[in-house]
Structure 1
Amino acid sequence: MITGFLQILLALNLVAIFMLSYNYSISQKEIVYNSNFSQDNLENIYQIEEINNVLFPILNDLQNESDFFIYRYTDTLLCPIYLHQEECEVESCNFQNFPGEDSINTVNLKYVGEKYKGQHGQMVWFRIYEDLGNNTSSKIHAEMMNFIKAIHQSISISIDEQFDYDQVNGPKIDFFLQRVGYYPDRIKNLYFLEQILIKALNFIRPNHELQSSTSLKVQNLQSSYNQMALSKFDPLNKLTEQDLEQYRNDIKLLDSYLDCVHCKKCKFNGKLQIHGLNTAVNLLFYEKEREQIEKNDLVAFFNTFYKISNSVKQLDAMFERITQILYQYIKLASSSFAILSLLSSVVLLLKK
């Protein structure tokens, strides 16, 4: 009877090793990408990663510039729908406002990181996709919707990096897989948005509100991009005025939907990135708007650019963590198999 029980355990262990090994093989980033993206998309993705590796250290450095610490933000309550959700009672959901106007929050961006559980906002995003999806007017407009989706995916990755475990913050792999990793189209959206931000960067002009040291770093960022080739692949080359107008309406609707999020920091981070995205669109497609870009717009743009750039880099880290965890499980299952095999052999010898 003992021998039969050990044989069952050995069989189960062997199945576990096979399944873990299979999951390990298909969870590697290169295999995931090669299996889900066309050759053209792959070339574009690898070019963006190459450029991102150059730009990210400069973007990271820019976040330490005092010019980009402070963001002026008008808190609104324009939620167009009713969603049942509990009020956020976590103190860290709130942020301290600088003295000043009651209707305008002057926020220090160093203290509003996305270290939360990402639950309340998800219902709002589902409703956003439902309503905006019904408004899609063309294939190009649908492509522009991917900008908004990429913001959501970037926020999910930021939350995953510093997931709130109540007492400590740290990575949460299953959260990453559920929100991003299992969906190649969501991964592609991040690269698509970074490509747009890189192109928008080239249209930023000197701003007298920035300190000279900050302006030099912005110029350094632009020259780093100009020295590298970006793929000619451009899904927005047939964009029409109607598409742009529809997209601007989407942005307004999205901004009002974010008012439905009860966590103030979560709501703020979403609105900040939407402002950064809107600035990128203005830089790319509206020549008159380029002349009117203010410091606050640049703060939002570079904060959004940094977060998207960081999310693209974190994709490597997340896939690496997944394969490391699976590898450890394979080692554990293999050790168990060896021990069970030894026990089975000993039992057989004792029977003889």
Structure 2
Amino acid sequence: MSDMTECEQAKELGAINSTLSNQSKEAFADWARHDDAQDHFCELDGLCLEKRVFYRLISGLHSSINIHLCAEYLLDEGWGRSVWGPNVQEFRQRFDTAETKGEGTRRLKNLYFLYLIELRALYKVAPYFERAFVNLYTGNTQEDSATKDLLLQVFNEIKSFPMHFDEKSMFAGHKIEAKILKEEFRLHFKNISRIMDCVGCSKCRLWGKLQTQGLGTALKILFSEKEIQKLPEHSPSKGFQLTRQEIVALMNGFGRLSTSIYQLHNFRVLLNKNR
């Protein structure tokens, strides 16, 4: 195993045993016939609002990653030179209505949904950073001040937009229920982050984990609205805190989403030219 190249390890990790015995095939067919024969009165969604939101967020994250992949695609690899750029055909395969049997539109809608969620979280967390004593420690006093000024400029830009997302229907409710839901979401994102540890590509693993933590931080903010509103103006609070890692993930994750939206516009232009 130690002599295997990184590519061979990745190939083995992604390998799936697709062989089925005749007995298993017959069993699957029997299950399908049995399920189809049941007298179902109606089709159930099985999923509550919160779970639907969770899956839409993960779908949006997946769409964002796919758009980055299509936008910076290895188009040609020659002697000592590599050409990277947008791959329209790859984009079509992943998002075109005809190519995806209608799924592409839903994937793009989920990307915008995710973008609005994180935009709303940044709007909600602004008071946390606007307090005078909050310092973004970089090790350089001048850079500390400049970095905070830039961050506050971002928050002011966000405030100039109308309502981004009405989260009340999802994050409102009984305090105990909200606490349970918050913990469920935290564990979901923790599991996803662990799964990403198995990704062979180091860059993919890094950005995947960063975007996942950024989204988790955004949800933490939306779940903590009341705590943020109660923050003391001139002293630290134990009710709500963001770690350096969470702040970095939140801002960089939103940056990747913003880039996805921008690249989506570029693909629209390219698709119109190819018509």
Q: TM-score, normalised by structure 1?
A: 0.51
Q: Percent identity?
A: 26
Provide structure 2 residue ranges, at least 5 long, that are not aligned to the other structure. Answer: 17-45, 98-103, 139-143, 229-237
Over 3 Å counting, the alpha-carbon distance change for 1:198 and 1:122 in structure 2 is farther
- SS of the aligned residue for 2:272 comes to helix
Partner of 1:169: 84
- SS of the aligned residue for 1:164 comes to strand
- SS of the aligned residue for 2:242 comes to coil
Partner of 1:219: 152
Partner of 1:156: 66
- SS of the aligned residue for 1:291 comes to coil
Q: How does 1:186-197 map to 2 (within 5 A)?
A: 186-197=107-118
| Aligned-pair CA distance for 1:272 | 0.8
Retained in 1: the 8 A contact 2:116–2:165?
A: no
Q: How does 1:21-170 map to 2 (within 5 A)?
A: 88-89=6-7, 138-165=48-75, 166=77, 167-170=82-85
Partner of 1:268: 206
Q: Deviations over 1:171-223 (max 9, x none)?
A: 01122122234311111111111111111112142242251111111111111
Provide the C-alpha distance between the structure 2 equivalents of 1:307 and 1:227, rounded to a whole number of angstroms. Answer: 21
Over 3 Å counting, the alpha-carbon distance change for 1:121 and 1:179 in structure 2 is farther
Partner of 2:119: 198
Provide the C-alpha distance between the structure 2 equivalents of 1:323 and 1:122, rounded to a whole number of angstroms. Answer: 36
Provide the C-alpha distance between the structure 2 equivalents of 1:281 and 1:186, rounded to a whole number of angstroms. Answer: 20
Provide the C-alpha distance between the structure 2 equivalents of 1:310 and 1:120, rounded to a whole number of angstroms. Answer: 32
Q: Deviations over 1:71-127 (max 9, x none)?
A: xxxxxxxxxxxxxxx96449xx9xxxxxxxxxxxxxxxxxxxxxxxxx999999xxx
Point out the structure with max Rg over C-alpha: 1
| Aligned-pair CA distance for 1:229 | 1.0
Retained in 2: the 8 A contact 1:160–1:172?
A: yes
Partner of 1:304: 253
Provide structure 1 residue ranges, at least 5 long, that are not aligned to the other structure. Answer: 1-85, 94-118, 125-135, 327-352
| Aligned-pair CA distance for 1:274 | 0.6
Name which structure has the greater RCO, CA cutoff 8 Å, separation 6+: 1
Q: TM-score, normalised by structure 2?
A: 0.65
Provide the C-alpha distance between the structure 1 equivalents of 2:240 and 2:181, rounded to a whole number of angstroms. Answer: 22
Partner of 2:100: none
